[in-house]
Amino acid sequence: MGDTNIYVFNPDTKEILSSLPEKESKKIQEYMEELKNHAVNCNLYNRIENLSNFCKYQYKSILFNKNIVDYTCFTMALNFMLWDTYENDEEIARVYDYFWKVFDGNVDCNFTKKEDLHYYFKLTD
């Protein structure tokens, strides 16, 4: 099962990460760290812009490569970061929420193979 070395505010996130296969858990944690790094150390406008640009880049990059594992892990990372920030940083949480909805809401448009969709829904449910 996955290693949960990343610091998170929400204990449920750690529990979920530890229940996932190690490869996916590590990938989600890497994405969470990247998301966190794009949302710090500048004024609010720049934090939102940096985070939005990073999410847009990831969306395009992952779709270009048609990688369901990365798509799934990034979607889960967005959801976990939303959980971890909604009480303390509402503006950033809204960015996570927006992009989580974009990723989650478009999975069946972006991936049409049955096995890809099965993988996504198995991990995210």
Residue 48 resides in a domain: yes
User: How confident is the model over 20-31, as a mean pLDDT?
Assistant: 93
Give the predicted TM-score (pTM) of the model. 0.86
As a whole number of Å, the CA-based R_g of the chain is 14
Residue 63 resides in a domain: yes
Residue 26 · residue 38 · CB < 8 Å? no
Residue 113 resides in a domain: yes
> What confidence score (pLDDT) does residue 125 get?
82
In order of 24, 93, 96, the CA distances from 43 in angstroms are 32, 15, 17
With H, G, I as helix, E, B as strand and everything else as coil, classify residue 1. coil
- Residue type at 34? E
- pLDDT one-digit tens code per residue, 89-123: 899 999 999 999 999 999 999 999 999 999 999 99
Structural domain harbouring 84: 22-124
Residue 6 resides in a domain: no
How many structural domains are present in the chain? 1
Residue 1's closest CA among 15, 20, 16?
Answer: 20
> What confidence score (pLDDT) does residue 28 get?
93
The answer, yes or no, to whether residue 59 has pLDDT greater than 90, is: yes
CA 4: distance to chain centroid?
A: 15
Residue 2 resides in a domain: no
Instruction: For tokens 């976990």, name the residue.
Output: 80
d(CA 26, CA 15): 14
